[in-house]
Amino acid sequence: MKVWVKLLIGSLLGIFLGILLPHDNPAVIKWMAWAEVLAIGIGRYALIPILLFTLTIVVYELRQDGQFWRMIFKSFLTILVCALLVIPMGIIVTLIFPPASIPILDEKQIETISLNIADNVLQLFPPNMFSAVFSSGTYLLPLCFFAFFMGIGLSYDKNYTKSVTVLIDSLSRIFYHIASFFSEILGVIMIFLAAYWAIRFNNLLEAEVFKDLIVLLGVFSLILGFGILPILLYFIKPKCNPWAVLYGSLGSAITAFFSGDINFSMPVLLRNLKENTGCRRRSSVVTATLFAIFGRAGSTMVAAAAFIVIIKSYTILGISAEAVISIGLWALGVSFLLAAHPGTGAYTALAVICTSYGNGYEAGYLILKPVAFYLIAIGTFLDIMIASFASFAIARISGFQDDKNIENYI
């Protein structure tokens, strides 16, 4: 059975279970929240070893071929282009089809959600280099720095490093197969994630006030992820079949939506890129990792759209062009700074935009707290879809992609 079919069946069973379970029972909510944490942990379990050893050997190989910095440049350029395309589209759609205003809740801002940029920078160079490896697996950038320097170190003297290079290459392939095993059993894990998602969504529908926002983001994300992004692949050369790429990305799309955690979806994404779309690891691992860390245009687009709804909820006056540009620029900046927030991307971005924009909207994100999980789900889904299509495009343009028979997709 195809992996994406297992994931879909598990998700559908989870939704059915979530409908049957009492959604207003605190004990049920508590246990489902616990099951979600366990499920996310299982999905992330093999991610750190994969990235550690694969990024290390990929940095070494790309440096040997003289293509490392070229690959980095292409990746960051594509990340910027995607952000400049996706974020304005979300803002424009929200202005053209504005959702109904959300009732203002009388809640006080208890804690401030921030990006903690200064602390994150300090973590890049901890006093002990190995601290980057033995981390919680949430913030991946310190690990990437470790792998970068390890990859450079392997080029020191091949007479001394040859055996280590072979060992790291072997470990990369071993942990890839371990991660493949976990992706095969994720169908069962998705039952718990989808059930908890369905319980919260059922409670959300009962509130009714968020219905317009739910429909707008849901419809637009489907059009963008399953329509606009594949169509853009028609413009790359050599020519390809974008719908085959879309089909090969379904597994990671499902995991992203119901988990809301980009690190949870990364192992499935890496496997889809390699075994479905034929992207070689020296390209796909670099691009997918950089998009997971810096390319969160989907999450910030959702945050920008949600912030426009917040402004319209606070005032009956229209939004000026200057305000729209300001929101877009804040969203663009935040899209590069969500590396330490793999499971709360869209809501964290919304909180940061609110506090940065000021003008009395500092606590505005609180009125959308009940719908936070949905914003995160939509944002993560788009992040993964953008990463998948962009990684394929870069690999194909760079000559690191081999066509696969669609019948052989996992």
Q: How confident is the model at residue 319 (pLDDT cuts 50, 70, 90)?
A: confident
- pLDDT tens by residue, 11-63: 999 999 999 988 888 899 999 999 999 999 999 998 999 999 999 999 999 99
| All structural domains of the chain with their residue ranges | 3-408
**What distance in Å separates the CA atoms of residue 61 and residue 166, rounded to the nearest whole number?**
12
160 vs 330, more confident = 330
Compute CA distances 98 → 59, 212, 218, 327, whole Å. Answer: 46, 8, 14, 16
CATH class belonging to 3-408: mainly alpha
Q: Is pLDDT above 80 for 405?
A: yes
What pTM, to 2 d.p., does this model score?
0.94
Residue the block writes with tokens 């000026």: 320
Q: What are the structure tokens assigned to 129, written together? A: 């280099």
Q: Residue 107 has what pLDDT? A: 55
Counting residues of the chain whose pLDDT is more than 70, the rounded percentage is: 98
Classify the phi-psi angles of 283: left when phi > 0, otherwise alpha if psi is within -120 to 50, otherwise beta: alpha
Compute CA distances 1 → 243, 249, 251, whole Å. Answer: 20, 16, 12
